[in-house]
Chain A
Amino acid sequence: MELIPMEYYLVVSSIMFFAGIYGFITRKNLIAVLISVELVLTSTDINFAVFNRFLFPGHLEGMFFTLFSIGISAAETAVAIAIIINIYRNIKNVEVRNLKKLKD
């Protein structure tokens, strides 16, 4: 069976990565920003797995790291969602541009 070349994976993960970056910069909604951050993280997870699979087939560190990273991102999402909920309670919306209490 012919393997799907590594570059294909990388293209997908790059697209995801830059989509994430783009989303992080342009989205107005905090939830959308969070989703974008998740995209970035996930794209790196894919990279870890791919590199592990193609470059060091005998090892499993990349895989473990991916799992580890997924765990972290889950925790991070939970914290972020909690913060966002709190923000919502305070200002009744989750728009990024309204978060300027500390600035003024």
Chain B
Amino acid sequence: MEYTLFILILPLIGFLSLGLLGTRLKGKTAGYVGTALLAATAILAYITAWQYFSTPGVDGIRPTLIPLNWEWMRFTEHLHIDLGILLDPISVMMLVVISTVSLMVHIYSLGYMEGEKGFQRYYAFLGLFTFSMCGLVVATNIFQMYIFWELVGVSSYLLIGFYYTKPEAVAASKKAFIVTRFADMFFLIGILLLSYFTKTFDFGLLCSGEENLFASAAGKTFMGGAVLSWAMALIFIGAAGKSAMFPLHIWLPDAMEGPTPVSALIHAATMVVAGVYLVARLFPVYYFFTPEVLHGIAYVAAFTALYAAIVACVQTDIKRVLAFSTISQIGFMLVALGVSGMGTVEANGLESHEGLGYMASMFHLFTHAMFKALLFMGAGAIIHTVHSNEMSRMGGLRKQMPITHITFLVACLAIAGIPPFSGFFSKDEILTATFMFKPWLGVTMTFIAALTAFYMFRLYYNIFWGKPAQHDHPLHEAPSSMTSPLVFLALVTVVAGFIPFGKFVSSTGAAYIIHLDWKVALTSVIIALVSIFIAWKLYCKGSSKVPDKVAGFFGPLYTAAKHRFYIDEVYQFITHKIIFRCISQPLAWFDRHVIDGILNGIAWITCRGSLAFRWMQTGQLQSYALLLLCGCLLLLCIGLFR
């Protein structure tokens, strides 16, 4: 299956050609070129998926294929970075997700970005991003993943800062890059630590569950924790940075300054789930060797999900709501991974129940990518028309934008977990998995699911119902290049839930048959419906006084949530007040004044010293002669009376 290489190469060609020659292309040509290349990529990805999933594995277990692997750089005898392609259920699934969403975004942007300055640049960056993201998911070793991890970070930086004349966009792109870079540093340290003990970067070896590989790390501790746990925890910090887990989530809401299709592609569907993907990729290591870290991941993710859901309830910027919703949903995926066990292959060739969380997480990743991209693109269509991100500028749009309205509603129902939309199935599996792990966690997650339904429908009602805002230009439905991706993704969202996902992706590679747990499903649906009802009551008419009263009732909590619990301010304080003011500036001062001062001091002493001897150099030949004479006499005396 060497042709999978072209899944990477085609977007790269797009990036290089549009980046170097883009300015020569007139009008939308660049967009068509990029879209055509992406269409080819998507087709290749589908062929790959079809071929991969249609090949029966050995004993019903799906194989891990490595069609290509080149040694790129050798460090030591054991450690070397390879660049290659690894195909297994999750990477193939990710390829499909990435190429589909990317293709949709390419098509959508033909309308959304029309007439923007830097249209070619935009498509070039999209190509770069698609290339890096595909490279990330097919990585055969952890270092290749790190390489592409950095590359997606840069493409994200470039795309967030696409409107580079806007100071907010510049600040947001900088923040996104630096926060994720900070997390990547831990990722790198984690890799160093892990590879030091295991002597390999290779995923195949790491995930083989081989005890010997980790033998050298056994018994070694650092500050009370086993080194292996440290390594895996550090790697998770890297994942948390990309996947916007608390407290490294602060960049994601700001990243919404980028063009909306970019938010749909990078900050909703693909790049932000890279962290989930990383944990899933290393799942055997986490599960077998550092289960405590895995549980830690679950708790962090659950907390993040709760936090983000609360914040999302009070935001007024439509994209910010979606951003926090993304954080919350990624929390769901990571919780599912965290609580999951490793399935075992039973006698009938099917996988046992323990691996439910893993499957559920990947399932949710898949469905979420589709409906969240849909939500963002819908939001983009609205923003495109309304020219504002604020909910107060919207309202009653259902008449003007029927297609956007319907597709947005589909996505909202999906994320709220209403059957038969895709989100219901995946979320239900996650809830079941958490109930299996710890009932109280399950209850918490169900509550968060209810919050999700509430804030999504708050958004929905505020935009499409409620009181229409005044506009001095006529509102209109988006062009067909924008609505067609919406319709396509809405269709996917409707049917994706019925995909027997467990047959394709599971923790062991054997087929897993999804059973709905009716108790869990029923409660979650009822709770979601109740939340939707509350949202309808509060926001549908647009004239209800209740929201303000509720806000008043929660008082400080409301204000805190509105300010995202002041996490940004804390960061601001740490970076500006502590790092800049207390470290950098004193260091710079130290350099200028102490070190330089010492040098200048030495120079000054030399100068003074010379001045002290200056009187001897009169410049008068006669005085020199006198001294000469005295010297001669002195020598003579020494010679005579020695």
Direct A–B contact present (CB less than 8 angstroms): yes
Mark A residues whose CB is within 8 Å of B.
21, 24-27, 33, 96-97, 99-100, 102-103
- Evaluate contact between B629 and A33: CB separation under 8 angstroms: no
What is the size, in residues, of chain B's interface with A at 8 Å between Cβ atoms?
A: 10
* A interface, over-half SS: helix
List of B residues within 8 angstroms of A102 by Cβ? 619
Pick from B622, B626, B629: contact of A96, CB under 8 Å: B622
B280 nearest CB across to chain A (Å): 82
Choose one: B618, B619, B625; the contact of A24 (CB below 8 Å): B625
A97 to B620, CA, bound (A): 7
Closest 9 pairs (CB-CB, A-B): A103-B619, A25-B626, A25-B622, A100-B619, A25-B625, A24-B625, A21-B629, A96-B622, A24-B622
- B621 proximal to A (CB < 8 A): yes
Task: List A contacts of B619 (CB < 8 A).
Answer: 99-100, 102-103
Query: B-side interface residues toward A, CB under 8 Å?
Result: 617-623, 625-626, 629
Minimum CB–CB distance for A95 against chain B, Å: 11
Docked Cα-Cα span, A99 to B618, in Å, equals 11
Minimum C-beta distance from B626 to chain A (A): 5
Chain A contacts for B622, CB-based, 8 A: 24-27, 33, 96
* Cα-based distance from A99 to B619 in the complex (angstroms): 8
Q: Which residue on A lies nearest to B618, using beta carbons?
A: A103
In whole angstroms, how far apart are the Cα atoms of A100 and B622 in the complex? 13
Task: Please indicate the chain B residues that have their CB under 8 angstroms from the CB of A99 in the complex.
Answer: 619
Given contacts A24-B625, A33-B622, 7 further A-B contacts (CB under 8 A): A21-B625, A21-B629, A25-B623, A25-B625, A25-B626, A96-B620, A102-B619
Best-surrounded residue of B619, B621, B622, B629 (most CB of chain A within 10 A): B622
How long is the Cα–Cα vector from A27 to B617 in the complex, in angstroms?
A: 19
Complex contacts, B629 vs chain A, CB 8 Å: 21, 25
How far apart sit A96 and B618, CA to CA, in the bound complex (Å)? 12
The smallest C-beta distance from A18 to any residue of chain B, in angstroms, reads: 10
CB A21 to nearest CB in B, in angstroms, measures: 6
CB distance from A92 to the nearest CB of B (A): 20
Contacts of B621 in A (CB 8 A): 96
A contact residues around B617 at 8 Å (CB): 103
Contacts of A27 in B (CB 8 A): 622
- A24 vs B626: C-alpha distance when bound (angstroms): 9
B618: A residues at CB distance < 8 A: 103
| Selected A-B contacts with CB under 8 Å, 22 pairs | A21-B625, A21-B629, A24-B622, A24-B625, A25-B622, A25-B623, A25-B625, A25-B626, A25-B629, A26-B622, A27-B622, A33-B622, A96-B620, A96-B621, A96-B622, A97-B620, A99-B619, A100-B619, A102-B619, A103-B617, A103-B618, A103-B619
Q: Give the shortest distance, in Å, between B9 (CB) and chain A (any CB).
A: 75
Give every chain B residue within 8 A of A21 (Cβ-Cβ): 625, 629
Docked complex Cα distance between A45 and B153 (Å): 94
